[in-house]
């Protein structure tokens, strides 16, 4: 064990965060996300007992977002035919971003299949047990100053 490292970050996830460079992307995926089939070029990290908000919080304690990207975060937008409302979990993400000095409005909304395509190019995908729908979030790594 180490001091000041959030316990939800597994050794593999810590290793991946260290390996990632400026501009690399990581997806924190909900339990419905097809992580294994999306990750042909990425590392899949299992975090089944955890939700996206707690993993997001833990990652942002250690990893800055890309300050040169207009929107260093991305969410999968709700499908036009879907009857669900704007997911409440997105408000948690905005509060967490603000907590770590990130702009809570700097979130890009991406159509479902475009999100999948971008996720296929990510460095890693964290597969959580999150039950909320449309809870996937993509983060672009920044520079530690």
Token pair in block for residue 36: 């294994």
Q: Please tell me which residue in 50, 57, 66, 123 is annotated as part of the active site.
A: 66
Is residue 116 part of the annotated active site? The answer reads yes
For 123, phi then psi, to 5°, come to -70, -40
CB atoms within 10 A of CB 45: 24
> 98: helix, coil or strand?
helix
Complete DSSP assignment for 9-73: S-HHHHHHHHH--TT-EEEEE-TTS-HHHH-TTSEEEEETTS-HHHHHHHHHHH--B-TTSS--E
DSSP-derived secondary structure letter, 77: P
Is residue 66 part of the annotated active site? The answer reads yes
Is residue 68 part of the annotated active site? The answer reads no
Q: What residues are annotated to the active site? A: 22, 66, 116
């Amino acid at each position: 064990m180490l001091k000041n490292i959030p316990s939800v970050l597994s050794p593999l996830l810590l290793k991946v965060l260290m390996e990632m460079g400026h501009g690399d992307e990581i997806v924190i995926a909900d339990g419905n996300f097809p992580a294994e089939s999306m990750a042909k070029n990425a590392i899949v990290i299992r975090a089944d007992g955890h939700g996206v908000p707690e993993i997001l919080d833990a990652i942002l304690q250690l990893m800055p977002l890309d300050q040169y990207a207009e929107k260093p975060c991305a969410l999968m937008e709700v499908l036009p035919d879907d009857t669900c409302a704007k997911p409440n979990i997105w408000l948690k993400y905005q509060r967490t971003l603000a907590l770590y000095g990130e702009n809570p409005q700097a979130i890009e909304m991406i159509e479902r299949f475009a999100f999948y395509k971008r996720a296929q190019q990510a460095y890693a995908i964290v597969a959580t047990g999150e039950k909320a729908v449309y809870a996937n979030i993509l983060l672009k790594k920044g520079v530690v100053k």
